[in-house]
Amino acid sequence: MLNTPGSKGRRRKIRILEGTPAELGYRFPAEWVPHQGTWLSWPRPEGISFPDKYHAVPPVLARIVHAIAARERVHINIPNGNYERIVRQQLREHGCPTRNVVFHRIPTNECWCRDHGPAFVLRPSRGRGTRAAIVDWGFNAWGGKYPPWEADDQVPTAVAADLGLPVFYPGIVMEGGAVDFNGAGTVLTTTSCLLHKNRNGGLPRHEVERYLKAYYGQQHVVWLGDGIAGDDTDGHVDDLARFVGPRLIVTAVEPDPRDANFKVLRENRRRLARARDQDGRPFEIVEIPMPSPVFHAGERLPATYVNFYFVNGALLVPTYRDRKRDRRALETLQRLLPDRAVVGIDCTEIAWGLGAIHCLTQQQPAF
């Protein structure tokens, strides 16, 4: 057992589970399964994610929170009561009611909850519904790039304390944006990120696969290559290709051969064509265009439509004020997901932080 402060300052005992999720029957579900809620970490003005542009961020976050809260509960990590008051005011000022929003006194360094947030794994329990646990991977700010990161690294266990859930500790660094899941046993990732020496000292591929299978409860790993221009994560897969069904993958492509992303995305498309699922079957691949290049202060930003996020009954998709390609991306995703509302949210301002909707969010599946 581990004693840890809860979000209200009370010390709570955390049960540490022995063994791995796979050994105990837990697995990480697909993002499109029903959610109990979504977790976010509110950015601080003194953080480093949005230099000289923080004022433009709360209106976009309010639109994202509003879209999620209309469909499921939103959990927001803030450092203290004063921040809660400020964030409530920011949400209301930008037209977002807070009746389905819960605040947690969990301090963070930055706002990218996909990478530092809790990874919920589920296990069927006979006669008692579905049980949940949290996997607390290590976090080192994308290979030690942005210190300090100690507060971010403690978020999953703090969430477990608030929810009364047990925890698995793999003991290696992993980020939620580096992996994607088909819900049937396959995880999609990239060599450029997970095999980089700045994460786990260059842990060999077979060892990384062993951790992915053991702690996410998966059977099979599909590897892509490099990430897109402007991506400071060394190649997160949630900028490149995403599952929208057990055998259906949406992948970004760049039509302009002069663009820096053309060769990278073409190579990843070739890898997907050769890939097989956990049962040895090929995937159906649907291409979606990249937006026109987005720049700020002369810097190329990692703008991509596949940084979308599933919520109950909807798909939230980042857009970038590129009318033609925004529309094509939304129409393609709506065709693939006819039972969901595909909702575009302008993330041009958020992209200055080098992320978008998926990077900001972490799902809490129903249990």
pLDDT confidence of residue 128: 73
Catalytic residue among 111, 113, 193, 359: 359
Examine the pLDDT at 327 and tell me if it is beyond 80.
yes
CA distance 263 to 257: 8
Q: Taking a C-beta distance cutoff of 8 angstroms, is the pair 286, 311 a contact?
A: no
- Please, what is the average pLDDT of the chain? 96
Percent of the chain scored above 90 by pLDDT?
A: 94
Of 179, 164, 244, the C-alpha closest to 216 is: 179
CA distance 13 to 189: 34
Core vs surface per residue 89-127: b (16+ CB within 10 A) or e: ebbeeeebebeebebbbbbbbbbbbbbbbbbbbbeeeee
120 band by pLDDT with thresholds 50, 70 and 90: very high
CA distance 211 to 187: 12
Core vs surface per residue 10-44: b (16+ CB within 10 A) or e: eebebeebeebbbebebbbbbbbeebbbbbbbbbb
CA distance 308 to 239: 9
List pLDDT tens digits, range 242-264. Answer: 999 999 999 999 999 999 999 99
Q: Which residues contact 310 (CB under 8 A, 6 or more apart)?
A: 31, 32, 35, 340, 363
pLDDT confidence of residue 4: 65
List pLDDT tens digits, range 48-89. Answer: 999 999 999 999 999 999 999 999 999 999 999 999 999 999
What's the average model confidence in pLDDT over 315-336? 98
Q: Which residues contact 41 (CB under 8 A, 6 or more apart)?
A: 76, 77, 106, 108, 110, 111, 112, 113, 116, 117, 152, 155
Neighbouring C-alpha atoms within 13 Å toward the C-beta of 274: 8
pLDDT confidence of residue 7: 61
Examine the pLDDT at 11 and tell me if it is beyond 90.
no
29 band by pLDDT with thresholds 50, 70 and 90: very high
pLDDT confidence of residue 249: 98
pLDDT confidence of residue 269: 98
CA distance 114 to 356: 10
Q: Taking a C-beta distance cutoff of 8 angstroms, is the pair 219, 31 a contact?
A: no
Percent of the chain scored above 70 by pLDDT?
A: 97
Examine the pLDDT at 1 and tell me if it is beyond 70.
no
List pLDDT tens digits, range 134-169. Answer: 999 999 999 999 999 999 999 999 999 999 999 999
Determine how β-strand 341-346 pairs with β-strand 309-311: unpaired
DSSP one-letter string for 5-69? E-TTS-EEEEPBPPS-HHHHT-BPPPTTSPEEEEEEEPPPTTSSSSTTTGGGHHHHHHHHHHHHH
Retrieve residue 31's tokens. Answer: 């993002």
CATH 3.30.365.10 assigned to domain 2-365? The reply is: no
pTM of the model: 0.96
Active-site annotation holds for 359: yes
- Backbone conformation region of residue 262, classed left if phi is above 0, alpha if psi is from -120 to 50, else beta: alpha
